[in-house]
Chain A
Amino acid sequence: DTGVSQDPRHKITKRGQNVTFRCDPISEHNRLYWYRQTLGQGPEFLTYFQNEAQLEKSRLLSDRFSAERPKGSFSTLEIQRTEQGDSAMYLCASSRFGDSQETQYFGPGTRLLVL
């Protein structure tokens, strides 16, 4: 297994367009997290899944954001009608619930720039 992967690594889009990001977690991990990191700040929690169920969403996740994990494996994060304020690094992490210490393993991130 090669760790958590994210696609694309970079995305430039015009304001108002929709974008979709994908995260492939480590294969035996049942938990998947999405975070957003703006320039000069630490990451902020957006949402997480346990298997295919989305169990928690941050207030940061406006109606324009939707995340899915349909088969409990990969996840997608879609942003509709992008705004310049959505420009950030979107990070995905996965973990295995049930481990005595739940270490989250991070992907390389998708850097979004909204023009």
Chain B
Amino acid sequence: KNEVEQSPQNLTAQEGEFITINCSYSVGISALHWLQQHPGGGIVSLFMLSSGKKKHGRLIATINIQEKHSSLHITASHPRDSAVYICAVGIYTGTASKLTFGTGTRLQVTL
């Protein structure tokens, strides 16, 4: 079983829809990251959170430490949001916070 599980694996939405991507993890973590990867490979860090909720523009990320679960929400989705969204957990090893990644959720937003 992977330490980080994401759902769904693929998601198609129409412009304007509210989108939720889920992430569950099975280990103790120091922080959870949401990343965005566009075709071509570049990765952008969207959020890093260890508790509660963060908001940036149309993106909202929440985490429930007790339930080992996080969600990424996109409000009023737009075709430019089409990308792969990756959840990664930071596991502090005593020397560094090493990231373990989920396999990603491929989002396609259509007009």
By a beta-carbon cutoff of 8 Å, the part of chain A in contact with chain B is 31, 33, 35, 37, 40-45, 48, 50, 55-56, 89, 91, 93, 97, 101-109, 111
Contacts and interface: CB of A to CB of B under 8 A. Distances in A.
A48 B98 contact: yes
Contacts of A106: 35, 42-45
B49 to A, nearest CB: 9
17 contacts: A31-B96, A37-B41, A42-B88, A42-B101, A43-B88, A45-B98, A45-B99, A48-B98, A91-B43, A97-B96, A102-B97, A103-B33, A106-B42, A107-B42, A108-B41, A108-B42, A109-B42
A111 B95 CA distance: 29
Contacts of A50: 95-96
A47 to B, nearest CB: 10
Chain B, interface size category, equals 20 to 34
Contact of A56 (B43, B45, B96): B96
Nearest to A103: B48
B42 A101 contact: no
A33 B100 CA distance: 12
Nearest to A105: B45
B86 interface: yes
A78 to B, nearest CB: 20
Contacts of A42: 4, 86, 88, 101-104
B31 interface: yes
Given A42-B86, A106-B42, A109-B42, A48 B102 contact: no
Taking each of A31, A93, A102, which has the highest tally of chain B beta carbons within 10 Å of its own beta carbon? A102
A40 B95 CA distance: 30
Nearest to A91: B43
A104 B96 contact: no
Contacts of B100: 45
Contacts of B93: 56
Contacts of B42: 106-109
A101 B41 CA distance: 24
B90 to A, nearest CB: 7
Given A31-B96, A44-B101, A48-B96, A89 B45 contact: no
